[in-house]
A = this chain, B = another copy of it.
Amino acid sequence: MLSTRYASCIQACSACAIACETCAAACLEEQDLQMMRTCIQLDRDCADMCRLAEVLMLRDSALVDEFCRLCAVACQACAEECIKHGHDHCQQCAQACQHCADECQALAA
């Protein structure tokens, strides 16, 4: 069954996927849409990476460590973009991404 080793990382990935989906959807409604291009692109990749990371951990897949190493890269990139924007959804997303990057990095180490 579910390894307790993964518990906090699964939670971080789940929260990060939700934050990224929310941020991407909200960015698409913003006035300054031109400035949000990169944010939307990184949100989408990060959301999809986190969702698959979560699933692979739930399955205790042999790919978990390598996948989480790469997921940390996606989260870090998204955190660094989101932090630049003042919108609440971007700031919240930056925080979720940074936390998830740390969790994935720790797991992969």
Contacts and interface: CB of A to CB of B under 8 A. Distances in A.
Contact of A67 (B10, B61, B70): B70
A106 interface: no
Interface in A26-78: 26, 28-29, 33-34, 37, 40-41, 44-45, 48-49, 51-52, 54-56, 58-63, 66-67, 70, 73-74, 77
Interface residues of A, number: 39
Contact of A63 (B22, B63, B66, B74): B74
Contacts of A48: 52, 55-56
Contacts of A55: 21, 48
A74 B52 CA distance: 13
